[in-house]
Structure 1
Amino acid sequence: MSDAEKTGLMAKMIGPKKRWRAYKGRVKELPESYRTAAEAIERYLMHFVPTDGDSNAAMFEDLADLFEQAAADGTPIRDVVGEDPVEFLDAFARNYSEGGYVPARARKQLTDDIGRAAGNETGPEDTTV
């Protein structure tokens, strides 16, 4: 293997790791309910949506963007993912993959996790009189 090939291989290995760490740092900074929802979605996507390294990184960066914006705007989690988070994620993942097999158990786990996150969020305080 030439030096150029080795350098290219190292860049491919390090690039996604840096992007992954940056994504994880962004999620860690989200308010608790948004972080819980993002982590539930992450688990689902990691197990059931086959992608390549670049698509995978882009998918999670877009997920972080979505939840950062929702948190900044005070958008409730249910307004982001809807009543059926599995349907939302199937549509979301189609942008990055040809899809994959998702067992019913994983769908239920995602739905339960999002339900818990949505139930634990505190919306913007109403200060009107």
Structure 2
Amino acid sequence: MGIRDIVEGKKQWWAHVARVKALPPDYRIVYQEMQRYLFKIGPADTSLLADVVDFFEEGAAAGKGVRQLIGDDVAAFCDDLVKGSPTYAEVRRESAGGEPGPTGK
């Protein structure tokens, strides 16, 4: 990855952050909780958060509350989003040969 790639990635991230800041307060709060949760479980698909912002922008423009869109359980909504998607841990495990570390034998 070159310097230009890093700079472009940062530009995209800051544009994403600006979109999140433009959301209504209740949407921002839920987005931040979703981001925290998704960073913990580690889905390998980095476009997922951009898709969430698109979804939230559409819901806010339609005048819907965030709970109308995702329900009351943020974690369950996130789990449904990443269902079937590989996590960072799974991708790393596969690239390292598919087996967990030494067992001490």
TM over 0.5: yes
- The structure showing larger relative contact order (alpha-carbon pairs under 8 Å, at least 6 residues apart) is 1
Equivalent position of 2:82 in the other structure: 93
Give the share of equivalent positions with the same residue, in percent.
Answer: 31
1:83 aligns to what SS in structure 2? Answer: coil
How many residues align? The count is 89
Gaps of 5+ in 2: 90-105
Q: Which runs of 4+ in 1 moved over 3 A?
A: none
Residue number among 31, 46, 68 corresponding to 2:57 in the alignment:
68
Q: Distance in 2 between matches of 1:99 and 1:83?
A: 24
Question: Which string of whole-angstrom CA distances, capped at 9 and with x for unpartnered residues, describes residues 4-43 of structure 1?
Answer: xxxx522332232222111110010111111111111111
* TM-score, length of structure 1 as denominator length: 0.59
In structure 2, give the amino acid aligned to 1:66. Answer: F
Change (3 A) 1:21 1:80: same
Question: Which string of whole-angstrom CA distances, capped at 9 and with x for unpartnered residues, describes residues 20-75 of structure 1?
Answer: 11111001011111111111111111222242xxx31x112111111111111111
Equivalent position of 1:77 in the other structure: 66
Are the counterparts in 1 of residues 30 and 74 from structure 2 also a CA contact under 8 Å?
no
* TM-score, length of structure 2 as denominator length: 0.70
Q: Distance in 1 between matches of 2:75 and 2:87?
A: 13
Change (3 A) 1:83 1:26: same
Equivalent position of 1:24 in the other structure: 17
Give the structure with the larger helix fraction.
1
